[in-house]
Structure 1
Amino acid sequence: MEIRKLSTDILIIGGGTAGCYAALTIAKESDRKVLILEKANIKRSGCLAAGVNALNAYIVKGQKPEDYVNYAKRDAEGIVREDLLITMARRLNYVTKELEGLGLVILKDENGEYVARGNRNIKINGENIKPILANAVSEFKNVEVLNKVNVIDYLVKDNKIYGVYGISVDEEVFYVVEAKSVICATGGASGLYKPNNPGFSQHKMWYSPFNTGGGFAMGIRAGAEMTTFEMRFIALRCKDTIAPTGTIAQGVMAPQINSKGEDYGKVYGNTTSERVYGTVKENLEGRGPCYLKTEGISKEAEQDLLKAYLNMAPSQTLGWIESGNGPSIANVEIEGTEPYVVGGHTASGYWVDTNRATTVKGLYAVGDVAGGCPQKYVTGALVEGEIAGIAALNYIDNVELTFIDEKEINEVFNKVKKHLSGDKGLYEIDNLEEGMQTVMDKYAGGISSSYQFNEKQLELAKIKIDNIIKLAEDLKAKDMDDLLHIFELKERLVVCKVLIEHLKARKETRWHSFCENLDYPNKDDKYLKYVNSVMKDGRVNIVFRDLIDGGEIYEHSN
């Protein structure tokens, strides 16, 4: 395996929504050298690879940024960083206009106003949103993109980042990248739990299956502070296709009904977690299956739904056409997905300040990997990329490039090569991945346990995940693709380890389904706090922090 060394002023890990916009911001503001390392291909990578049909974070007419903050705070039962939410909300409309200027088609009414979908969303034709961002990045000469490079670890000394290590997805190349500052934009973590669909269809899930928690895992190992992993995200989706339900719920104002035709949403509430919880409870109590009531909608509305799903989940449209039962003829059955750790919908991720700086000096986190700021969606990720891009530029003004020690390089290189020995190991990668998902499903609140858990189950989950972590060290790869999957598994296992400790630490049920603790089934204001963690010497140490209310601003020097 060849060792290839690179250097840059600012390194961006992940060429998704937030990563692209961070690069665009830096390139517009300066001639500093920017390098993006992307595991896939930047033109179709990340959560927006297949497109999206709405921008779900926008300040529509009659609303203020403060209204958006209040909505996110209510939905998260108070566990948010209001300082992060307001800095995001104030820039949502600006980045939307910039995105339109790059070529995104945003639907407009007869008065030239954006077509709203509810109180915070606007409709778009977004099947090409990712190529639009990627093409914009390619126009700047000081931005270089390396596709098919998977970053596997940070180089951090004395709590300051100096660079990263990575591997090529295709070639036998080990990358050493020196950087003055690093922006992590890798996305959240999927694949921790057993998914809805087994076997060949296991990757038909809500969140990108290629977002494996790598950014989280690298930060955790480096001692960065993390926050609110216990606020897992479980999406309510169309059964089997795992297509979005919001398009139907908001597009035709379809209520959630049980098999008796009763609107159960009124019973359980309308927060994101309550909509999932109500569906779970109705099924457990024998009133399932549950549906979105679309029967009887107009043919025009049906056609709009068929077109909308072609933007992001074509299997839903194809299913309707194949069966001959479109949404106007038959209600749409719904179910919850497996849990994810994702900071774009919940408050999980790195503990950051208002510049999106992590607790590791020189390291920034944006988008789904940044915590404290839920309901950010696409436009919020763009804003965080912009904020971190400017902050990283300011940070490197007085920073010199530090060359990584050869001895250290060789130590990491040899650890990587150990997996690529060509020998056959005792276990296959898929065996351990399935084992991990089964443990999390049964003992840490997965689908089979109706998202519920107790302390004894979490203790067993911890022991079993630690055992799988040890076994993963002996996995062998026959090629670079295998090596990639070994590191993806190891990333997920680190995230699982931290997630279990967070679930244990919040001794209450603040969010039904998201964090359903059977030993503590009610809310307890004693836990109206952030549950944070720092890993040291392989041990996850829980840190409780007081809430940062409106008007307060947290910085790491506080």
Structure 2
Amino acid sequence: MKLQIKALSTDFLIIGGGTAGCYAALTFAEVSGREVLIAEKANIKRSGCLAAGVNAINAYIVPGKTPKDYVDYARKDAEGIVRDDLLRTMAEGLNRTVAKLERLGLTILKDEQGQYVTRGSRNIKINGENIKPILAGAVADQPQITVLNRINVFEYIVKDGRIQGAYAIGVDEPVLYVISAKAILCATGGAAGLYKPNHPGFSRHKMWYPPFNTGAGYAMGIRAGAEMTTFEMRFIALRCKDTIAPTGTLAQGVGAKQINGLGEVYEQKYGITTSQRVHGTVMENLEGRGPCYLRTVGITKEQDEDLQKAYLNMAPSQTLKWLERGQTPRVQNVEIEGTEPYIVGGHTASGYWVDVNRETTIRGLFAAGDVAGGCPQKYVTGAFAEGEIAAKAAVRYMNDKTVMLNMSEAEEKKRWLEGFLDSSEVQHSTDELEETMQAVMDKDAGGIGSHYRFSEESLSIADDKIRKLERQSDFLFASGMQELVYILELRERLTLCRSVIAHLAARKETRWHSFAEHIDYQESSAEWELYVNSRLENGKLNMIFRPLVQEGEKYEH
């Protein structure tokens, strides 16, 4: 199979039409009137983390609270390893983005006084099944915005430290796109599929985070020499067993406590930060006091029905499980477990090292949402806020810069891709290498099978094995474009695996139990109150240690 080269040009290229990407496109079009191109691997009507909808806005400044309160909460949850300037500017935009979404048609629940119905101290309730179609519809109404669905961006084009464009392939058509742009926003989301999941084999995509988020944006940044941060702060979700449904609705909606198999409340014993909740569950099971549950027995009939409706809206498998077994939450506590680790900059601080305008260390390349580091606890509205900040900064950056791409380099890239399509020697399949990668990360880099623990020795073993898989991935074969996408996705995951391993090894402490459980360094240390960053230079991943940006300070490149 031969690829056709198609050259495209735009003012602002947005890679990923999910939460942050759509909001950034709307902002850019409104502020500048210039052209925007969204490159989306799936279809923006139902792509990204909002694909199935959500039943609450988890980042909102409720009455009586301030943006500073939200910053303090996020800092405490991350044990201090956050960027105060990024959290502050994100928090200041939360309520503004909610108001805009309501104007676009999002249904937000209100009480008899017309006030938003809160859930906990930072959340409000919504009817959010159609939140992504609402966003996609708003994008479609803007004539300056062009959406290319079903194209997979896999590499940046950088010259003299500045972004020039990107390469992409068609998912369905044999086309290599060469896209020139005056500025680019990476909004590709985080990474799932690095580790062996709760449900391996044919059910391996039954996971907490979208399986189609492969870490593409991270990998492109790593390979292009962008500085990255805090990959060692992995995210492990505490979920309902088997269904991997959210537990926050139970914990916050009905005040369900974490209990062990003896009926003892154990959450205060270990702490109530996100990582501590997971760690406590792991330890109770290891010490023979499992299984662990969220205590729901005894809630009212109305609460029981509300929970069934809520989960039917966002995780229907959980409601179906209750109904099939005849054991709804008021008569049976809900068993819980941890997921495999993910790299998600919307929940932790993993991602691109950016300045306050969300510009990366590559000039003209911006990052927002799960792919941007330093700013955890973003959720939906935080991704919106970052998309807005990045889009406005991109308008200021681009002016009228002219971008001329070298098409001879595109020809070289075409031949490289065609090598996968024309290969005759096939030693391994993409699935085989992916499963091997997940097994390596699970056993040697702190997955479920090792109770999220790792050591210097095990990380060294993991790195050697991942390097071997990288070499083997050079000889994969694709019978068509979709399989070529799978090969590129595997290579992205392998690139990210090596960076995650390097970050886990570099932070010689255990600051976040389970998230980064280093058995050679089992305590936290004041010496490690700093950012662990990295940059790929001349083929070597160099570690960079930066001091914390303190409250009230602002970092600029």
TM class by smaller structure? over 0.9
Q: Counterpart of 2:433 in structure 1: which amino acid?
A: L
Alignment partners' CA distance in 2, 1:538 and 1:243: 40
User: Aligned equivalents of 2:263 and 2:102: distance in 1?
Assistant: 42
For 1:34-70, what per-residue CA distance to the aligned partner results, in whole angstroms no more than 9, with x for missing partners? 0000000000000010001111000001100000000
Shift of 1:491: 0.4
Counterpart in the other structure of 1:409: 410
The CA distance in 2 between the partners of 1:423 and 1:486, in whole Å, is 16
Q: CA deviation at 1:200?
A: 2.1
Displacement, 1:173?
0.9
Which residues in structure 2 correspond to 1:79-90 (within 5 Å)?
Answer: 79-90=81-92
Report the equivalent of 2:532. 531
Q: Distance in 2 between matches of 1:314 and 1:150?
A: 30
Residue 420 of structure 1 is matched in structure 2 by 421
CA drift of 1:158 comes to 1.3
How far is 1:30 from its partner? 2.0
**Aligned match of 1:371 in 373, 382, 400?**
373
Local SS of the residue matching 1:108: coil
The Cα of 1:157 is off from its aligned counterpart by: 1.3
Structure 1 SS opposite 2:422: coil
What amino acid sits opposite 1:354 in the alignment?
V
Of the three residues 158, 161, 166, the one matched with 1:159 is 161
Q: Distance in 1 between matches of 2:26 and 2:482?
A: 31
Q: What displacement does 1:412 show?
A: 1.1
Q: Which amino acid aligns with 1:227?
A: T
Question: Which residue does 2:522 correspond to in 1?
Answer: 521
SS in 2 for 1:178: strand
Aligned residue for 1:110? 112
Deviation at 1:2? 1.0
Q: Which residue type is aligned with residue 207 of structure 1?
A: Y
Hey, what's the Cα distance between the residues in 2 that align with 1:363 and 1:528?
Answer: 28
Range with bigger deviation, 61-70 or 402-411: 402-411
Q: Is the CA contact 2:423–2:476 (under 8 Å) kept in the aligned structure 1?
A: no
Match of 1:469?
A: 470
Q: Matched residues in 2 for 1:272 and 1:423: separation? A: 48
The equivalent residue for 1:430 is 431
What residue number does 2:138 align with? 136
Please report how far the alpha carbon of residue 313 of structure 1 lies from its aligned counterpart in structure 2 after TM superposition.
0.8
Give 1:330-479 correspondences, 5 Å limit.
330-400=332-402, 402-421=403-422, 423=424, 425-479=426-480
| 1:399 partner amino acid | K
Matched, 1:16 2:35: no
- Indicate if the aligned counterparts of 1:187 and 1:213 stay in contact, CA closer than 8 A: yes
Deviation of the 1:537 alpha carbon: 2.4
Structure 2 gaps of 5+ residues are none
Distance in 1 of aligned mates of 2:279 and 2:425? 44
Q: How does 1:16-165 map to 2 (within 5 A)?
A: 16-165=18-167
More deviation, 195-204/216-225: 195-204
**What TM-score comes out, normalization by structure 2 length?**
0.99
Structure 1 counterpart of 2:252:
250
The Cα of 1:296 is off from its aligned counterpart by 1.3
CA distance in structure 1 between the aligned counterparts of 2:285 and 2:100, rounded to whole angstroms: 44
Unaligned segments of structure 1, at least 5 residues: none
Question: C-alpha distance in 1, partners of 2:327/2:236?
Answer: 27
Q: Secondary structure at the match of 1:408?
A: helix
Residue in structure 2 matched with residue 178 of structure 1 by the alignment? 180
Q: 1:538 deviation in Å?
A: 2.3
**Partners of 2:465 and 2:84 in 1: how far apart?**
37
Residue 389 of structure 1, CA deviation: 0.5
Q: Using the alignment, how far apart are the partners of 1:259 and 1:357 within structure 2?
A: 48
Q: Deviations over 1:161-206 (max 9, x none)?
A: 1000001111111111010000000000100000000222111111
**1:192–1:440 CA contact under 8 A, matched in 2:** yes
Q: Is the partner of 1:414 in helix, strand or coil?
A: helix
2:486 maps to 485
In the alignment, residue 554 of structure 1 is paired with which amino acid? Y
Q: Which amino acid aligns with 1:346?
A: T
Match of 2:556 in 1: 555
Contact 1:259 1:288 in 2 (8 A): yes
State the SS of the aligned residue for 2:119. coil
Deviation at 1:327, TM superposition (A): 0.5
Mean Cα deviation higher: 310-319 or 514-523: 310-319
Alignment of 1:273-284 (within 5 A): 273-284=275-286
Amino acid corresponding to residue 215 of structure 2 in structure 1 = G
CA distance in 1, matches of 2:381, 2:318: 25
Check the 8 A contact 2:154/2:216 in 1, yes or no.
Answer: yes
Report if aligned partners of 2:423, 2:475 keep a CA contact under 8 Å in 1.
no
SS of structure 2 residue aligned to 1:273: helix
Within a 5 Å distance, the mapping from 1:489-504 to structure 2 comes to 489-504=490-505
Alpha-carbon distance in structure 2 between the residues aligned to 1:7 and 1:79: 39
Runs (4+) off by over 2 Å: none
Name the counterpart of 1:297.
299
**What's the CA shift for 1:159?**
1.1
C-alpha contact (below 8 Å) 1:422/1:478 kept by paired residues: no
Deviation at 1:84, TM superposition (A): 0.2
Q: Which residue of 2 aligns with 1:546?
A: 547
Instruction: Tell me if 1:225 matches 2:236.
Output: no
Deviation at 1:422, TM superposition (A): 5.3
**Which residue identity does 2:336 align to in structure 1?**
I
* Counterpart residue identity of residue 533, structure 2: N
Provide TM-score, normalisation by structure 1: 0.99
Q: What SS does structure 2 have at the residue aligned with 1:457?
A: helix
Q: Tell me if the contact between 1:234 and 1:338 (Cα under 8 Å) persists in the aligned partners.
A: yes
Give the superposed CA RMSD: 0.7
Shift of 1:495: 0.4
What letter corresponds to residue 152 of structure 2 in structure 1?
N
The CA deviation at 1:241 is: 0.4
1:398, distance to aligned residue in structure 2 (A): 4.0
Q: In 2, distance between residues paired with 1:194 and 1:239? A: 16
Q: How far apart, in 1, do the equivalents of 2:312 and 2:392 lie? A: 36
Amino acid across the alignment from 1:320: W
Distance 2:425 2:327 in 1: 50
Q: CA deviation at 1:424?
A: 5.0
Q: Distance in 2 between matches of 1:404 and 1:413?
A: 15
What amino acid does structure 2 have at the position aligned with 1:344?
G
SS at match of 2:335: strand
- Give the whole-Å Cα distance in 2 for the aligned partners of 1:322 and 1:172: 46
Question: Could you report, residue by residue, the CA deviation over 1:480-531 in whole angstroms, capped at 9, with x for unpaired residues?
Answer: 1110100000000000000000000000000000000000000011000000
How many residues are aligned here? 555
Any idea what the Cα deviations from partners look like across 1:43-102, whole Å, max 9, x if unmatched?
000001000111100000110000000000000000000000000001100100101111
Q: Name the SS for the 2:125 alignment partner.
A: strand
Aligned-partner residue type, residue 315 of structure 1: S
**Residue-by-residue CA offset, 1:200-236 (whole Å, 9 max, x unaligned):** 2111111010000000000000000000000000000
Specify whether residues 335 and 511 from structure 1 end up closer, same or farther in structure 2 by C-alpha distance, changes over 3 A only: same
